[in-house]
Protein backbone atom coordinates (compact mmCIF):
# COMPACT_ATOMS: atom_id res chain seq x y z
CA UNK A 1 0.00 0.00 0.00
CA UNK A 2 1.35 3.40 -0.93
CA UNK A 3 2.50 5.69 1.87
CA UNK A 4 1.05 9.17 1.59
CA UNK A 5 3.44 12.09 1.52
CA UNK A 6 3.42 14.31 4.59
CA UNK A 7 5.08 17.38 3.13
CA UNK A 8 1.69 19.05 2.72
CA UNK A 9 0.89 18.39 6.36
CA UNK A 10 3.53 20.76 7.70
CA UNK A 11 3.19 24.39 8.59
CA UNK A 12 4.23 26.57 11.56
CA UNK A 13 1.85 26.60 14.51
CA UNK A 14 -0.55 29.55 14.53
CA UNK A 15 -1.38 29.20 18.24
CA UNK A 16 -0.24 32.17 20.38
CA UNK A 17 2.93 31.51 22.38
CA UNK A 18 1.23 32.06 25.79
CA UNK A 19 -1.27 29.29 25.04
CA UNK A 20 1.52 26.93 24.03
CA UNK A 21 3.43 27.77 27.23
CA UNK A 22 0.29 27.21 29.34
CA UNK A 23 -0.09 23.77 27.74
CA UNK A 24 3.54 22.94 28.51
CA UNK A 25 3.12 24.04 32.13
CA UNK A 26 0.11 21.73 32.49
CA UNK A 27 1.94 18.87 30.79
CA UNK A 28 5.06 19.11 32.95
CA UNK A 29 3.10 19.39 36.20
CA UNK A 30 2.05 15.72 36.12
CA UNK A 31 3.67 13.08 38.32
CA UNK A 32 1.76 9.96 37.26
CA UNK A 33 2.06 8.26 33.88
CA UNK A 34 -1.68 8.07 33.29
CA UNK A 35 -2.26 11.76 34.07
CA UNK A 36 0.80 12.66 32.02
CA UNK A 37 -0.68 10.80 29.04
CA UNK A 38 -4.05 12.49 29.48
CA UNK A 39 -2.37 15.89 29.67
CA UNK A 40 -0.36 15.20 26.50
CA UNK A 41 -3.49 14.19 24.57
CA UNK A 42 -5.38 17.26 25.84
CA UNK A 43 -2.50 19.51 24.77
CA UNK A 44 -2.29 17.94 21.30
CA UNK A 45 -6.06 18.13 20.89
CA UNK A 46 -5.91 21.86 21.62
CA UNK A 47 -2.94 22.51 19.34
CA UNK A 48 -4.09 20.23 16.50
CA UNK A 49 -7.87 20.51 16.53
CA UNK A 50 -8.17 19.19 12.96
CA UNK A 51 -6.40 15.92 13.77
CA UNK A 52 -7.43 12.71 15.49
CA UNK A 53 -4.66 11.69 17.88
CA UNK A 54 -4.29 8.35 19.64
CA UNK A 55 -1.70 7.07 22.09
CA UNK A 56 -0.75 3.40 22.02
CA UNK A 57 1.25 1.78 24.81
CA UNK A 58 3.81 -0.91 24.01
CA UNK A 59 4.59 -3.97 26.09
CA UNK A 60 7.64 -6.16 25.47
CA UNK A 61 7.45 -9.88 26.18
CA UNK A 62 10.50 -12.03 25.47
CA UNK A 63 11.83 -9.42 23.05
CA UNK A 64 8.60 -9.04 21.06
CA UNK A 65 6.47 -5.88 21.13
CA UNK A 66 2.72 -5.94 21.76
CA UNK A 67 0.58 -2.84 21.73
CA UNK A 68 -2.90 -1.55 22.56
CA UNK A 69 -4.68 1.78 22.40
CA UNK A 70 -4.41 3.74 25.63
CA UNK A 71 -6.05 7.09 24.86
CA UNK A 72 -7.42 8.94 21.89
CA UNK A 73 -8.56 12.50 21.24
CA UNK A 74 -12.20 11.59 20.73
CA UNK A 75 -14.71 12.48 23.41
CA UNK A 76 -15.32 8.86 24.40
CA UNK A 77 -12.28 7.14 25.99
CA UNK A 78 -11.31 3.67 24.72
CA UNK A 79 -12.83 0.76 26.62
CA UNK A 80 -10.83 -0.34 29.63
CA UNK A 81 -8.62 -3.43 29.46
CA UNK A 82 -8.23 -3.37 25.70
CA UNK A 83 -6.47 -6.55 24.53
CA UNK A 84 -2.79 -6.50 23.63
CA UNK A 85 -2.24 -7.33 19.97
CA UNK A 86 0.69 -7.88 17.66
CA UNK A 87 1.27 -4.87 15.39
CA UNK A 88 1.26 -5.11 11.60
CA UNK A 89 4.46 -5.56 9.64
CA UNK A 90 5.18 -1.86 9.04
CA UNK A 91 4.50 -0.88 12.65
CA UNK A 92 6.52 -3.86 13.82
CA UNK A 93 9.52 -2.55 11.91
CA UNK A 94 9.11 0.83 13.58
CA UNK A 95 8.82 -0.66 17.07
CA UNK A 96 11.84 -2.90 16.48
CA UNK A 97 13.71 0.12 15.06
CA UNK A 98 14.45 -1.81 11.88
CA UNK A 99 13.67 1.22 9.75
CA UNK A 100 15.77 4.34 9.84
CA UNK A 101 15.64 5.86 13.32
CA UNK A 102 13.60 9.03 12.89
CA UNK A 103 11.31 11.21 14.96
CA UNK A 104 8.25 10.92 12.68
CA UNK A 105 7.27 8.04 10.42
CA UNK A 106 4.73 8.50 7.61
CA UNK A 107 2.09 5.76 7.60
CA UNK A 108 -1.05 5.10 5.57
CA UNK A 109 -3.31 7.04 7.93
CA UNK A 110 -0.99 9.97 8.67
CA UNK A 111 1.93 10.14 11.07
CA UNK A 112 3.48 7.91 13.73
CA UNK A 113 5.73 9.27 16.51
CA UNK A 114 7.51 6.61 18.63
CA UNK A 115 8.28 7.45 22.27
CA UNK A 116 11.37 5.86 23.77
CA UNK A 117 12.52 4.78 27.20
CA UNK A 118 16.06 3.45 27.58
CA UNK A 119 16.31 3.03 23.79
CA UNK A 120 13.12 0.97 23.57
CA UNK A 121 9.77 2.10 22.20
CA UNK A 122 7.26 2.26 25.07
CA UNK A 123 4.47 4.23 23.40
CA UNK A 124 3.41 5.53 20.00
CA UNK A 125 1.53 8.68 19.02
CA UNK A 126 -0.70 8.19 15.97
CA UNK A 127 -1.76 11.41 14.24
CA UNK A 128 -4.53 11.27 11.62
CA UNK A 129 -5.12 14.68 9.99
CA UNK A 130 -8.44 15.61 8.42
CA UNK A 131 -8.54 16.36 4.68
CA UNK A 132 -7.73 20.05 5.17
CA UNK A 133 -5.46 19.74 8.21
CA UNK A 134 -1.82 20.68 8.39
CA UNK A 135 0.57 19.49 11.09
CA UNK A 136 3.45 21.42 12.58
CA UNK A 137 6.12 18.72 12.69
CA UNK A 138 8.50 20.69 14.89
CA UNK A 139 5.84 21.34 17.51
CA UNK A 140 4.68 17.71 17.43
CA UNK A 141 8.24 16.43 17.87
CA UNK A 142 8.94 18.93 20.65
CA UNK A 143 5.86 17.87 22.63
CA UNK A 144 6.67 14.21 22.05
CA UNK A 145 10.22 14.70 23.33
CA UNK A 146 9.00 16.59 26.41
CA UNK A 147 6.57 13.76 27.17
CA UNK A 148 9.31 11.21 26.54
CA UNK A 149 11.72 13.01 28.87
CA UNK A 150 9.14 13.08 31.65
CA UNK A 151 8.38 9.40 31.14
CA UNK A 152 12.08 8.70 31.67
CA UNK A 153 12.18 10.91 34.76
CA UNK A 154 9.15 9.15 36.21
CA UNK A 155 10.70 5.77 35.40
CA UNK A 156 13.96 6.71 37.12
CA UNK A 157 12.11 8.08 40.14
CA UNK A 158 9.58 5.26 40.52
CA UNK A 159 11.46 2.12 39.45
CA UNK A 160 13.71 -0.31 41.27
CA UNK A 161 17.08 -0.28 39.54
CA UNK A 162 17.60 -4.07 39.65
CA UNK A 163 14.20 -5.51 38.80
CA UNK A 164 12.55 -2.69 36.84
CA UNK A 165 9.41 -3.02 38.98
CA UNK A 166 8.04 -0.03 40.87
CA UNK A 167 10.07 0.83 43.98
CA UNK A 168 9.08 1.31 47.62
CA UNK A 169 8.60 5.06 47.19
CA UNK A 170 6.04 4.43 44.44
CA UNK A 171 4.38 1.74 46.54
CA UNK A 172 3.99 4.08 49.50
CA UNK A 173 2.44 6.72 47.27
CA UNK A 174 0.03 4.31 45.58
CA UNK A 175 -1.05 2.65 48.82
CA UNK A 176 -1.67 6.00 50.50
CA UNK A 177 -3.87 7.11 47.59
CA UNK A 178 -5.87 3.85 47.59
CA UNK A 179 -6.53 3.43 51.31
CA UNK A 180 -9.92 4.83 52.23
CA UNK A 181 -10.89 5.65 48.64
CA UNK A 182 -14.71 5.61 48.74
CA UNK A 183 -15.10 5.35 44.96
CA UNK A 184 -15.65 2.19 42.95
CA UNK A 185 -17.57 -1.03 43.29
CA UNK A 186 -17.59 -2.17 46.93
CA UNK A 187 -17.30 -5.75 45.67
CA UNK A 188 -14.02 -4.77 44.02
CA UNK A 189 -12.14 -3.28 46.97
CA UNK A 190 -8.42 -3.03 46.15
CA UNK A 191 -6.25 -5.82 47.51
CA UNK A 192 -2.64 -5.84 48.71
CA UNK A 193 -0.48 -8.96 48.44
CA UNK A 194 2.99 -9.33 49.94
CA UNK A 195 5.22 -11.96 48.31
CA UNK A 196 8.43 -13.34 49.80
CA UNK A 197 11.00 -15.68 48.23
CA UNK A 198 11.38 -18.75 50.44
CA UNK A 199 14.83 -19.43 51.92
CA UNK A 200 16.38 -16.59 49.93
CA UNK A 201 19.20 -16.17 52.46
CA UNK A 202 20.35 -19.69 51.57
CA UNK A 203 20.52 -18.67 47.90
CA UNK A 204 22.84 -15.79 48.73
CA UNK A 205 24.90 -17.89 51.17
CA UNK A 206 25.28 -20.89 48.83
CA UNK A 207 25.56 -19.19 45.44
CA UNK A 208 26.56 -15.58 46.13
CA UNK A 209 24.79 -12.26 45.76
CA UNK A 210 25.21 -12.12 41.96
CA UNK A 211 23.13 -15.29 41.59
CA UNK A 212 20.76 -13.92 44.22
CA UNK A 213 20.26 -10.81 42.12
CA UNK A 214 19.58 -13.00 39.07
CA UNK A 215 16.85 -14.81 41.02
CA UNK A 216 15.28 -11.47 41.98
CA UNK A 217 15.43 -10.27 38.38
CA UNK A 218 13.97 -13.50 36.96
CA UNK A 219 11.17 -13.48 39.52
CA UNK A 220 10.33 -9.87 38.61
CA UNK A 221 10.23 -10.81 34.92
CA UNK A 222 7.88 -13.73 35.68
CA UNK A 223 5.65 -11.35 37.65
CA UNK A 224 5.48 -8.93 34.71
CA UNK A 225 4.52 -11.74 32.37
CA UNK A 226 2.01 -13.40 34.71
CA UNK A 227 0.05 -10.56 36.27
CA UNK A 228 -2.18 -8.10 34.46
CA UNK A 229 -0.88 -4.86 33.02
CA UNK A 230 -3.12 -2.89 35.40
CA UNK A 231 -1.85 -4.65 38.54
CA UNK A 232 0.74 -2.66 40.48
CA UNK A 233 3.99 -4.63 40.87
CA UNK A 234 6.57 -3.40 43.38
CA UNK A 235 9.85 -4.47 44.92
CA UNK A 236 8.95 -3.88 48.54
CA UNK A 237 12.44 -4.52 49.88
CA UNK A 238 15.11 -7.23 49.71
CA UNK A 239 13.45 -10.45 48.55
CA UNK A 240 9.95 -9.18 49.29
CA UNK A 241 7.56 -7.89 46.63
CA UNK A 242 4.13 -6.26 46.72
CA UNK A 243 1.16 -6.46 44.36
CA UNK A 244 -1.79 -4.06 44.34
CA UNK A 245 -4.88 -5.49 42.65
CA UNK A 246 -7.42 -2.90 41.55
CA UNK A 247 -10.25 -4.79 39.88
CA UNK A 248 -10.44 -8.43 40.96
CA UNK A 249 -12.51 -10.19 43.60
CA UNK A 250 -10.91 -11.81 46.63
CA UNK A 251 -11.68 -15.27 45.21
CA UNK A 252 -10.11 -14.38 41.87
CA UNK A 253 -7.04 -12.91 43.56
CA UNK A 254 -6.63 -16.11 45.61
CA UNK A 255 -6.76 -18.21 42.44
CA UNK A 256 -4.36 -15.91 40.56
CA UNK A 257 -1.82 -15.87 43.39
CA UNK A 258 -2.01 -19.64 43.83
CA UNK A 259 -1.43 -19.98 40.09
CA UNK A 260 1.65 -17.81 40.37
CA UNK A 261 3.02 -19.91 43.23
CA UNK A 262 2.62 -23.00 41.08
CA UNK A 263 4.18 -21.29 38.07
CA UNK A 264 7.27 -20.25 40.05
CA UNK A 265 7.72 -23.63 41.77
CA UNK A 266 7.66 -25.33 38.35
CA UNK A 267 10.04 -22.85 36.71
CA UNK A 268 13.73 -23.81 36.86
CA UNK A 269 16.11 -21.08 37.96
CA UNK A 270 19.66 -21.42 36.53
CA UNK A 271 22.16 -22.81 39.08
CA UNK A 272 19.63 -22.56 41.91
CA UNK A 273 17.01 -25.00 40.62
CA UNK A 274 13.61 -24.74 42.28
CA UNK A 275 12.49 -21.50 43.91
CA UNK A 276 9.21 -21.09 45.78
CA UNK A 277 7.36 -18.06 47.10
CA UNK A 278 4.97 -17.40 49.98
CA UNK A 279 2.14 -14.88 49.66
CA UNK A 280 -0.21 -13.17 52.10
CA UNK A 281 -2.89 -10.71 51.04
CA UNK A 282 -5.62 -8.51 52.47
CA UNK A 283 -8.36 -6.05 51.52
CA UNK A 284 -7.82 -2.30 51.60
CA UNK A 285 -10.92 -1.67 53.70
CA UNK A 286 -12.11 1.86 54.24
CA UNK A 287 -11.08 3.40 57.54
CA UNK A 288 -7.73 1.64 57.64
CA UNK A 289 -4.42 3.47 57.55
CA UNK A 290 -1.51 2.23 55.40
CA UNK A 291 0.31 0.72 58.40
CA UNK A 292 -2.74 -1.41 59.24
CA UNK A 293 -3.07 -2.69 55.68
CA UNK A 294 0.61 -3.64 55.55
CA UNK A 295 0.38 -5.25 59.01
CA UNK A 296 -2.56 -7.40 57.88
CA UNK A 297 -0.85 -8.60 54.71
CA UNK A 298 2.35 -9.21 56.67
CA UNK A 299 0.51 -11.33 59.26
CA UNK A 300 -0.95 -13.48 56.49
CA UNK A 301 2.50 -13.80 54.93
CA UNK A 302 4.06 -14.75 58.27
CA UNK A 303 1.41 -17.44 58.73
CA UNK A 304 2.35 -18.90 55.33
CA UNK A 305 6.06 -18.80 56.18
CA UNK A 306 5.46 -20.69 59.44
CA UNK A 307 3.00 -23.22 58.02
CA UNK A 308 4.75 -24.79 55.06
CA UNK A 309 5.58 -21.93 52.65
CA UNK A 310 4.77 -22.02 48.91
CA UNK A 311 1.13 -21.13 49.68
CA UNK A 312 -1.31 -18.21 49.65
CA UNK A 313 -3.46 -17.07 52.57
CA UNK A 314 -5.79 -14.11 53.00
CA UNK A 315 -5.71 -12.24 56.29
CA UNK A 316 -9.50 -11.98 56.56
CA UNK A 317 -9.89 -15.75 56.15
CA UNK A 318 -7.29 -16.43 58.83
CA UNK A 319 -8.93 -13.88 61.12
CA UNK A 320 -12.35 -15.54 60.82
CA UNK A 321 -10.75 -18.88 61.67
CA UNK A 322 -9.04 -17.40 64.73
CA UNK A 323 -5.56 -18.13 63.34
CA UNK A 324 -4.36 -14.52 63.44
CA UNK A 325 -5.28 -11.51 65.54
CA UNK A 326 -5.98 -7.92 64.61
CA UNK A 327 -3.46 -5.57 66.20
CA UNK A 328 -4.34 -1.95 66.76
CA UNK A 329 -1.73 0.45 65.39
CA UNK A 330 -0.83 3.20 67.84
CA UNK A 331 -1.33 6.69 66.50
CA UNK A 332 2.38 7.39 66.76
CA UNK A 333 3.13 4.40 64.53
CA UNK A 334 1.00 5.25 61.51
CA UNK A 335 2.80 8.22 60.04
CA UNK A 336 4.67 6.12 57.49
CA UNK A 337 4.39 8.51 54.56
The model's pLDDT over 242-292, given as tens digits with 9 standing for 90+, comes to 999 987 899 999 999 999 999 999 999 999 999 999 999 999 988 889 999
Of these residues, 37, 239, 240, 250, which one is catalytic?
Answer: 239
Q: Hey, how many other C-beta atoms are within 10 angstroms of the C-beta on 334?
A: 13
Q: Evaluate whether 245 touches 282 at the Cβ level (below 8 Å).
A: no
C-alpha distances (whole Å) from 35 to each of 15, 26, 29, 58 are 24, 10, 10, 17
- Statement: residue 314 has pLDDT above 60: yes
Q: First and final CA of the chain: distance in angstroms?
A: 55
Q: What CATH fold (topology level) applies to the domain 7-158? A: Beta-Lactamase (3.30.450)
Active-site annotation holds for 2: no
User: Residue 12 — pLDDT band, cuts 50, 70, 90?
Assistant: very low
Q: Model pTM greater than 0.75? A: no
Superfamily of domain 168-333: Reverse transcriptase/Diguanylate cyclase domain (3.30.70.270)
- The model's confidence at residue 42, banded by pLDDT at 50, 70 and 90, is confident
The DSSP code for 135 is B
- 1 pLDDT band, cuts 50/70/90, is very low
The residue ranges of every structural domain in the chain are: 7-158, 168-333
Q: Each residue of 174-199: pLDDT tens digit?
A: 898 888 665 554 546 799 999 999 99
Tell me the CA distances in angstroms from 15 to 50, 112, 146, one per residue in order: 13, 22, 18
Q: 67, 50, 49: which is closest to 58 by C-alpha?
A: 67
Residue 158 has pLDDT above 60, yes or no: yes
CA distance readout (Å), 53 to 21, 75, 258, 326, 332:
20, 11, 41, 51, 50
Amino acid sequence: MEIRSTSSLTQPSTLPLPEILDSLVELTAQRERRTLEISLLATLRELMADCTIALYNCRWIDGHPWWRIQLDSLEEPPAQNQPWTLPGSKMLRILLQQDQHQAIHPIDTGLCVPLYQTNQVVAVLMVTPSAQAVVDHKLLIALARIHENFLNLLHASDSDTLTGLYNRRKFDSQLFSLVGDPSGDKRRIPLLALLDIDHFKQVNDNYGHIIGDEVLLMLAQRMQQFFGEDDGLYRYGGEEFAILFHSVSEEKAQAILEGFCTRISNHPFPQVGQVTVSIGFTRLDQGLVPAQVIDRADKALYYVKTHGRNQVYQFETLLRQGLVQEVEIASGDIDLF
